[in-house]
Structure 1
C-alpha cells in the first residue's frame, strides 16, 4: 500500500500536474482578491463587488456542458495548456492596465468573465487528466494528493493576494501572472499514457450525455448530489466574519485564524490519506465523515470559546477532505475514460453551484434567524441529508465496500 502512495509522485507527469495545480489555483485565488479589491477601490460599491462574483459564475453555468464535451473530444493536456495561456494574457493586460492607470470597472468585469470561462474549460480537462496519467489502483492516492494541492492553494492564494495588494494591485497581478506561467510550462511537459476515444458528431444526445450518464448510475448520482446538498446546507465558513466580530469578538487576527483552521485540518488529513488511503468500507467511511462534518458544524455554531471554535473548524476541514477524496475517486473509477470530461464537468457544476448557493443560503438564513441558529440548522440539515442518502435514496452508497461499483 505504501509503495503505491510513493509511486504516485514518482510519476513525473502527475507530479508536474500536481505542482501546476498549486500554482494555477493560487493564481486564481490571488486574482479573486485583487480584482475584488480593485473593483471596490474604483467604485466604492458592494453591488459592483457582487457583480465580480456573478461575472465569474455565469460562464460556469453556461459553458459547463460544452466544456465537458471539449475535454472528451480533444487532448486534455492541450486544453489546460491553452486555457492557462489565455488566462496569462488576460492577467498581463490587468498588469498593464494597473500600471498605466486605464483599468476601469468594466474592464475588471470583462476580465473576471473571461477568467471564469477559461477556468470552466480548464477544470473538467484538468480533473479528467488524472486518470490519463495514473493507473486506476492509484486514483485514491492521486485524489488525496490533488486535495492537498487544492487546500494548500486555498490558504496560500488569498493570503498572498491580501499581502500583495498592500503594495498595489499590480503587484498581486504580477505574482498571479508568474504563477500561471510556471503552471503553463509544467502542463506543457505532462505526458498522457491512456488515450481518449473520439466522439461522434455533436448533437443534443451527445451534448447531454454527461448528464444522462450521471443520472443513470446510482453511485455517481448519489456521490455528486451528496456533495451538492451537504455543502449547500453546511456552509458555516461563509458566516465567519459575523462569528469573529459579534460572537467570539476576536477581530481581524482571529478571523484569519478561523479562516485557516478548516484548510489546516484538510491539508493534514489529505497528507495522511496520501499514505494510508481508504480502501475498505468506502460507503460507511464516506457517511461517517459527513456525520462528523455535520456535528462539527453544530459544535461551531453553539461554541462561545475561540479555541473550541477553532477545533470545530479544524474538524470540519478534516472530515470534509475525507468525503472529497472518496467522492472524487468514486466518480473517476466508475466513469469510462472517454466520458471523464463530461462527467467531471457535471461534477464541477454541482460543486460550483453548491459553493455559490451555499454562501447565499447561509447569508439569507443568518439574516432571517441569526448566525448561530443558521449554522446549527445547517448542521442538522446535513445530518438529515446524510441519513436520507444512506437509508432511503442511495443505500447502494452505504453498502459500497470498494471504489468499483458492483456489476449487474
Structure 2
C-alpha cells in the first residue's frame, strides 16, 4: 500500500474552490446561529427560548430531508447549491432587517422574537438541501480513492469555520452589535455564492432520472437499513449529539453561571471546534481507518465525559478545556463517520443517503438544543448538561456490548479496494 499523501485532495483545484465556498458558507451560518442565540436570550432571559430555536429548525429539516435527497439525486449539483445559497442570503438579509433600529423601535419584542423564529423555521427547510448537495458535489470533484483524505479536509474546513464563526460573532456582538454582525453574515453568504461559479457544472450520475419519488425514497431508506456500518455510525452519533447538546445552553453559562460576557461566550463556543479541527488535521497524516468501530465508540465515550465535566464546572478555564477536548473526540467521530459514508455509498444514492444522515446527525444538533432547553427548564441548567453527558456514556457502553459487528468494524480493506480500482 502506498504511503498516504496528506494533501492528496488539495491537489485538485476545484476541491480547493469547494473548500473556500464551504468555509465562507459555514462561517456565516455558524456566526448567524450564535448571533440569533444571543439576541433571543437577551430578549427572553429564558433557556427554553434557546431550545425553541433548535425546534424551529429541526421540524422542517427532518420533515423535508428525504424529499430533498431525492431532488438532489435528480438535479445538477453546482446550480442546486447556488440556489440554496441564494435563499440563505435572503434569510440573512431578513434577520439583518429585523434587528434594525427602525424595526426594534416600532415593533414589540414578541413580534421581533416570533419573526426570528419564522426565519429560522424557513432556514430549516433550506438546510435539508445543503447537506445532501454538498456531500454529492464533493464526490464529483475528487476521485474515489482519495475520499478519506477529502473527507478529512472538508470536515476540517467545516470545523475551522465553526471555530472562527462563533468566536468572531462573540467579538462583533461586542464591537458593532447584533444588527451589524448580521450584515457581515449577509456579505459572507454573497461571497460564497460568487465563488461557487468557479466550479463548472457537473454531470448527473443517477441512471433513474424521473423515477417515482416514493420508490426513490424507499431505495434510499432500504440501503441505509441494510448497510450496518452506515446505520450503526449514524445511530450512535445521533444519540450522542442529542444528549450531549450542551452548547445550546452556552449563553446561560456565559451570562449567568461563569459570568464571562459576550467575548467569553465566543471563546466557549469556539473551543470544541478548535479541538476538532486540530484532531482532523492530525488524521490527514495518520489514517484512522483501522479499527474504526472501536475508535468511534471510544471517541464518543470521551465526548460524553467532557460534557459532564463542563456541566459541573464553575471555573471558566476548566469549562474551556472540557469543551476543547469534547471537540477533539468529536473530530475523530466526524472523520470516521464521513469516511464510512463516502466509501459505502453508491454515486447515484448520495443525495438520499446524505439526507438520512442529516436526519440522524445534522438534525440531532437541533433536537439536542431542544432537549437541552427542555431539561434545563425542568431540571436546571447544570443538571440538564450532566444528564445529557451521562446518557451519552450509557449509549456508547450499550452499543459496544450488544453490537460486536460494529465494535469490530474496520475500513482498511475498503480503502485498499478503492485504491486498487483507480490505480
TM-based fold match above 0.5: yes
* Residue in structure 1 matched with residue 151 of structure 2 by the alignment: 143
**Matched residue, 2:25:** 24
Q: Which has the higher contact order (CA 8 A, sep 6+)?
A: 2
Structure 2 CA distance for partners of 1:160 and 1:405, relative to 1, 3 Å: same
Offset at 1:251?
5.5
- State the secondary structure of the residue aligned to 1:83: helix
Structure-2 residue corresponding to 1:235: 245
Pair 188,176 (structure 1): closer, same or farther in 2 beyond 3 Å: same
Is 1:337–2:347 an aligned residue pair?
yes
Equivalent positions of 1:91-106 (< 5 A) are 91-92=92-93, 101=102, 105=112
Aligned ranges 1:194-213 → 2 under 5 Å: 195-199=204-208, 200-213=210-223
Q: 1:208 to 1:73 in 2, by over 3 A?
A: same
**Greater CA deviation, 97-106 or 281-290?**
97-106
Residue number in structure 1 paired with 2:188: 179
Counterpart CA distance in 2 for 1:285 and 1:167 is 43
**d(CA) in 2 for partners of 1:253, 1:173:** 17
Q: Give the TM-score of the pair, scaled to structure 2.
A: 0.83
Partner of 1:65: 66
Cα shift at 1:61: 2.3
Matched, 1:157 2:158: no
Deviation at 1:273, TM superposition (A): 1.7
- CA 1:138/1:389 → structure 2, altered by over 3 Å: closer, same or farther? same
Alignment partner of 1:342: what SS?
Answer: helix
162-171 vs 278-287, which deviates more?
Answer: 162-171
Structure 1 residue corresponding to 2:392, chosen from 382, 386, 400: 382
Go from structure 1 to structure 2 and tell me whether the alpha carbon gap of 1:251 and 1:203 turns closer, same or farther (over 3 Å shift). Answer: closer
Work out the CA distance in 2 between the residues paired with 1:110 and 1:308: 37
Q: How far does residue 6 in structure 1 lie from its aligned partner after superposition?
A: 1.1
Deviates more, 1:137-146 or 1:92-101: 92-101
Matched, 1:297 2:298: no
Mapped partners of 1:209, 1:240: distance in 2: 40
Q: Structure 2: where are the runs of 5+ without partners?
A: 418-423
Deviation at 1:299, TM superposition (A): 3.2
Question: In 2, distance between residues paired with 1:34 and 1:364?
Answer: 21
Q: Deviations over 1:183-238 (max 9, x none)?
A: 12222222477751242522422233322221122111111111111111222333
Unaligned runs of 5+ in 1: none
Q: Any conservation in 2 of the 1:139–1:333 contact (CA below 8 Å)? A: yes
Query: Cα distance, 1:54 vs. partner?
Result: 4.3
- May I ask how many residue pairs the two structures share in their alignment? 405
- Report the secondary structure of 1:208's partner residue: helix
* SS of aligned partner of 1:275: coil
With normalisation by structure 1, the TM-score equals 0.86
Q: Summarize the Cα distance change of 1:385–1:100 in structure 2 as closer, same or farther, 3 Å threshold.
A: closer
Match of residue 421 from structure 2: none
CA change 1:40–1:373 in 2 (3 A) is closer
Q: Indicate the residue corresponding to 1:268 in structure 2.
A: 278
Aligned to 1:84: 85
Deviation at 1:7, TM superposition (A): 2.2
| Partners of 1:294 and 1:383 within 8 A in 2 | yes
CA–CA distance in 2 between the matches of 1:367 and 1:110? 23
Are the aligned partners of 1:334 and 1:404 in contact in 2 as well (CA < 8 Å)? no
